[in-house]
Structure formats: C-alpha cells, structure tokens
Amino acid sequence: MEISKKEKPKKGFWSLFEQSEIPLIVYLAVFVGVILTWTLRAYNPDLSLNLFSELLGAAFTLFVIDVLLVRSRTKRWKIVREHIDYLIARDVNRIRDGVANRAFSFDPNIESGLAIEDQLIQIRDQRNSFLAHLEKQEQEEVISQINKKGLFSEEGYDYFQEKSEDIWNLLNMKYSEYMEPGLVSNLIELHTHLKDVCGHIRQFQKGERFPEDKIFYSSIALKGSGVSLKKIIGICNDLKESGYSIAPSLSELEKKPLIN
C-alpha cells in the first residue's frame, strides 16, 4: 500500500468534524431534532420553544467540548510527532541496512580520501540503488541473491526478530492512534513480513534436524524468504520515499539529518 508524504494537520471548519471524538450521527440527530421541534411551534409554541432551546444548548455544549478535545489532542500530537517520526524513520533505515547487508551481502564501494560524511552519503546512494534494483527483479532473481549463510543463522533470526519487535513497539506506543492510517497499515505489514522471515529461518533450520528432508525444507524456506524480503524492501522503499528513513545523526549532521 502506498502512503502519502507527511501531511500537515488539516485546517478549517470541516476538519474539526473529521477529527471529532463524537460521531457525526450525534450532530445529525441533534440537527434533525431542532428542525422537528421548530415545526411544532404551530401546535404548541411554548413546548416547541423550550425543546428548541434545550436542543440548541445541547448542540452547543457538545460542539465546544468536542473542539476542546480535538485541539488538546492536536496540540499533544504536534509535541510528540517529530520524535515519533524520527523513531519510525530510524527503524526503517536500520531495517533497510540490515536487509541489504545480512540477507543480500551488500558490499558498497567506498572511495578513500573522502570525508566521513561524504563516504556515508556515497554508501547510502549505493544502497538505495541496490534495494531499488532488487525490488524490480523477479522472484527467482531475488532468491538467487540471498546470502544463505548470513540469513539462515541464529544471528539472522535474532536480527529480524528484534526488528519486528521494534516495529511492534512503534504500533503500540501511546500516540500510535494519531498516525495516518496508510502509515499504520504499512508498519503492520512490515511487522508481519519481518516475523515471516523469522519463520522461514526456522523452516530452513529444520533441514539440520531432518537431513533426509533437507532439500525440501531449504527450498520452502528460500521461496518464502524471497517473497517476504521482496515485500519488506518494497515497503521500506515506499516509506523512504515518504520521508521515513533517517540515519542516526552524527555530530554536525545532527542539525540536518541525512534522508536515506
């Protein structure tokens, strides 16, 4: 699923209803009630006026309370959003780095004599091209490039298990409910495929316990890993395009993080 670029909070009258904690049907019910009580004035003016006043008061109270809730929530979100965005971007960057290096033995060509900042940019550019190329390749081509020794090991399992937990923690933090639905959907899918890779690693390792079926287990694990890794790369590339991939800051780079 594609996600949009980081959006600024919407402004305007209708945006209040879009962010409202109170269902729109409640406002509609009050509005209909106001109209009905107003039509009763021809039959019982006093009763109609009393009901009309009560409904208007209730509508006004609901609206004021709701606006205060929305503003309070928006204010809290503005305070923490930058930090949450950084956590997401940092974890996505680490996953991209880990997949490239651990699963596919990515080996960048680093020019000597360059400043460390320029070398980092060079590595990241090469990794971007590497992952973009992998995403476009056919399934069998992706599978043929998997580093079996690095991926199907206890270190590989621990790494993907750790990254899946990192994403799960992001989804379960206090302010995750304020995230955009498209972003949440991508993080859930990313978590799922990271866990699937862990399952494929365990499947591959069954061949060590059952040597007579080693070819079967390794074949199943490779195919499954190819599917999951290709999905992970695609999701991380989409997140990167949306601004969610930032390398941890280094000294002078802290003021201007490198989008990766």
At 21, is the pLDDT very low, low, confident or very high (cuts 50, 70, 90)? low
Percent of the chain with pLDDT over 90: 50
Whole-angstrom distance, CA of residue 92 vs CA of residue 84: 12
Whole-angstrom distance, CA of residue 60 vs CA of residue 202: 60
Dump pLDDT digits (tens) for 222-245: 999 999 999 999 999 999 999 898
At 24, is the pLDDT very low, low, confident or very high (cuts 50, 70, 90)? low
pLDDT for 198: 97
Query: What 3-state DSSP class applies to 246?
Result: strand
pLDDT for 259: 46
pLDDT for 13: 46
Q: How large is the average pLDDT for residues 122-134?
A: 94
pLDDT for 66: 64
Q: Long-range contacts: 116-120, Cβ < 8 Å, 24+?
A: 116/250, 117/250, 117/252, 117/253, 120/247, 120/250, 120/258
Structure tokens at 166: 């990192």
At 35, is the pLDDT very low, low, confident or very high (cuts 50, 70, 90)? confident
Whether the predicted pLDDT of 159 surpasses 70: yes
Query: What 3-state DSSP class applies to 259?
Result: strand
For 40-49, 103-112, 218-227, which range has the lowest pLDDT when averaged over its residues?
40-49
Please name which of 217, 200, 198 lies closest in space to residue 208, comparing C-alpha atoms. Answer: 217
Whole-angstrom distance, CA of residue 99 vs CA of residue 85: 21
- The 10 Å Cβ neighbour count of residue 89 is 22
Q: How large is the average pLDDT for residues 214-219?
A: 95
Enter the pTM of the model.
Answer: 0.73
Whether the predicted pLDDT of 127 surpasses 70: yes
**In sequence order, what DSSP letters do the residues of 48-109 get, joined into one string?**
HHHHHHHHHHHHHHHHHHHHHHHHHHHHHHHHHHHHHHHHHHHHHHHHHHHIIIIIT-----
Whole-angstrom distance, CA of residue 169 vs CA of residue 163: 10
Beta bridge partners of 223: none
3-state class percentages of the chain: helix first, strand second, coil last, to nearest 5: 75, 0, 20
pLDDT for 125: 92
Q: Are 3 and 182 in contact (CB under 8 A)?
A: yes
For 41-50, 121-130, 153-162, which range has the lowest pLDDT when averaged over its residues?
41-50
Whether the predicted pLDDT of 48 surpasses 90: no
Q: How large is the average pLDDT for residues 165-170?
A: 96
